[in-house]
Amino acid sequence: MNPRLLLATSGRVLRQLKADPRSMAILLVVPTMLLLLFFYIYENNRELFSFIAIGMTVILPLSLMFIISSVTMQRERANGTLERLWTTRLHRADLIGGYAGAFALLAVIQSLLLVTVMGLFLDVHTQASWWTLTMIAVVTGVTGLSLGLFGSAFARSEFQAVQLMPVLIIPQILLSGLLMPRNELPQLLEWISNLLPLSYAFDAATEASRSGFTGEVAKDIAICLAFAVGFLVLASTTMPRRTS
């Protein structure tokens, strides 16, 4: 891995995203708007809204980072950009690392916006400090982007990249604990949920909201981060060098 090439790739990706207002809006504006929507839906049940809002600090980063990272990578393949880059000294690890760095920066900004709006404007009270929730959201966002980069290797178009969401993201949301506590799921579904990164991110966020930063929270964050690293390694090994 070449640090100079990695940073150059991150800079290029950030410039491309900056020139794409729709992608920036999806990453930075849409999460806040969805949180506001939930606020008005559950205006008369603040306790339920607080639970959902905490869950959204991990569900939204994972989902939106997955969509944008997978579509962006697939767009580069479709435009022939990747094939041109492979003629240079750029290694797969430099490419994936550069993408991860660029989207991780956006994940930090996205998470700070979510946590700030939730705490200052929507009056969600938790035992977790702002930095704890932000860290959990960032790690989950990085997991989403790493899964998106991995998934994009198996797509042939941007549409196919989006089609991966019902397969790779929606089951994680359904089994995360948002709809029903994971320990109350049928045993088979509970076992499956134990294999999904969002389950640990959701557990970390809800546990932190109740008890602050604890050893259990740190463990769940570490597991989620391990998933992110694993997906990035898989993405770097499966990224095709030629566009079909």
* Domain positions in the chain: 3-238
More confident residue, 84 or 237: 237
- Residue 239's identity, in one-letter code, is M
Q: Which of 163, 138, 139 is nearest to 151 (CA)?
A: 163
List, in order, residues 6 or more apart from 119 with CB less than 8 Å away: 130
In this predicted model, what pLDDT tens digit does every residue of 165-211 receive, in sequence order?
888 999 999 999 999 999 999 999 999 999 999 999 999 999 999 99
Give the type of residue at 213.
Answer: F
Chain segment 127-139, per-residue pLDDT in tens: 888 899 999 999 9
How far apart are alpha carbons 230 and 48 in whole angstroms?
Answer: 34
pTM (predicted TM-score)? 0.88
Q: Residue 80: pLDDT band by 50, 70, 90 thresholds?
A: low
147-162 residue pLDDT tens: 998 888 777 777 777 8
